[in-house]
Amino acid sequence: MKVHIKLFSMVALAAVLFTACNSTDNQETTTAAQTEQSAATTMPQPMAATGADMPALGDQVPNDYVCMVNNAYMGRLQFEVPFEGKTYYGCCDMCKERIPKDESVRYAIDPFSKKKVDKADAYIVLIGQNGEVVYFENEENYKKLIES
């Protein structure tokens, strides 16, 4: 029961922190046809939205399947974004541009230790049915959180 409450709390936290690729800050002026084509080719939806099989809630997911800007498991390989000797991942051109420029999308807070975690090195866990993820410093912190 404790695990479900903690996972629910992490889902709520992720929902607050979730950032969409197509936020109004980053939209370009395009025609309706360009927008539809661009959305289909450059902004994939999280895996849950595609109806594909999804790992179980609480499972570790591979870093290269996570859009680190949206904090979402996407169910397929993401674009590699090398920056300062590390590799981050994003789902679209906006993500590829934003990751090197915006430190806030390269880091998260470990929900157990409350320490800043570099997403490129994180232990990433699926917490939401829409693909939401949370980042831990290591597997040990994740296990400590679900055991406490």
| Average pLDDT per consecutive 10 residues, the chain (148 residues; last block may be shorter) | 49 41 38 40 52 82 97 96 98 97 97 98 96 97 95
Whole-number Å distance between alpha carbons of 109 and 136: 8
Whole-number Å distance between alpha carbons of 140 and 118: 16
**Closest CA relative to residue 90, chosen from 75, 79, 105, 101:** 79
Q: pLDDT at position 54, please?
A: 77
Q: pLDDT at position 62, please?
A: 97
Residues paired with 82 in a beta bridge:
87
